[in-house]
Amino acid sequence: MAKTIAIVEDDPDQRANYTDAIRSKGYSVNAYGSREEALEGIDMNMPDLVILDIILGEEVDGGFQLCRDLLTRAPQLPVIFLTERINEIDKISGLRLGAWDYLPKPISLEYLAERISSLLRINEFRQENDEEHSASAKRIGDLVLDQDALLASWKGKRIDLSGTEFRMLAKLVRQPGHAVSYETLMNATMQSLVTNNTINTHMRNIRKKFEKIDADFGHIKSEYGFGYRWAE
């Protein structure tokens, strides 16, 4: 059965172009022009992945609000921001909300299709694999990482990390106790235009997700001016 992609874009021409391009790759597409329309449609038919613009009509941050609403309903839902707003503050805001990716306009439709395919594969692994029984699972104390499924658990409880967060955490725990540089963590994000502040934001988000499970969590330590380390 074809995966369903929801597109939320207020520009009708761009919405049509994205819809046609993604359908040509074999996906089912539901396209919406406003936040209200998207919420109503997605509540009736939950997609496998959502692509959001940030500015939706008169709502300059409508996409951010929609992302928040959708992830409240479905925390595992992959969300991609596709927008002309590419300043660092907006990127950080999108990542803090839980988006899996943040892509700039204009974009190659072929590249967009590849990102969709990649994130759907990751999500399928997450849903189908149990990190405790996977051959690719690695245990570091109470932490278990499944490299194939990009799954993490702490003290037996799953932690919902984005792909970027998982890759950064995997770098951090490769050698527990050793400091990992900002440059190494930037490479782990597989994103362009990453700064130290971006890394700091990711790390705060990762810490918060651990702390939701374990209020006493304190294994991620900052190495001032250099990077971070995983404290045993």
pLDDT of residue 86: 86
End-to-end CA, the chain: 45
For 137, 181, 182, 198, the CA distances from 194, given in Å and listed in that order, are: 28, 13, 10, 6
Rounded Cα–Cα distance for residues 27 and 131 (Å): 28
Residue whose entry in the numeric block shows the structure tokens 């449609």: 41
Structure tokens at 109: 């439709």
pLDDT of residue 131: 45
Domains identified in the chain and CATH numbers: 4-126 (3.40.50.2300), 132-230 (1.10.10.10)
pLDDT of residue 134: 54
pTM: 0.60
Contacts of 25 (CB under 8 A, 6+ apart): 113, 116, 117
Phi, psi torsion values for 159, nearest 5 degrees: -115, 125
Rounded Cα–Cα distance for residues 154 and 131 (Å): 11
DSSP string, 55-100: -BTTBTTHHHHHHHHHHHH-TT--EEEEES--SHHHHHHHHHHT-S
pLDDT of residue 160: 83
Decide: 50 and 80 in contact? Cβ < 8 Å: yes
Enumerate the β-bridge partners of residue 228. 180, 222
| DSSP H or E stretch at residue 129 | none
Rounded Cα–Cα distance for residues 86 and 101 (Å): 12
pLDDT tens digits, the chain, 232 residues: what are they?
789 999 999 999 999 999 999 999 999 999 999 999 999 999 888 999 999 999 999 999 999 999 999 988 887 899 999 999 988 888 888 888 888 999 999 999 999 999 999 999 888 876 665 444 455 678 889 999 887 777 888 988 888 888 888 899 999 999 899 999 999 999 888 776 789 999 999 999 999 999 988 999 999 999 999 999 999 8
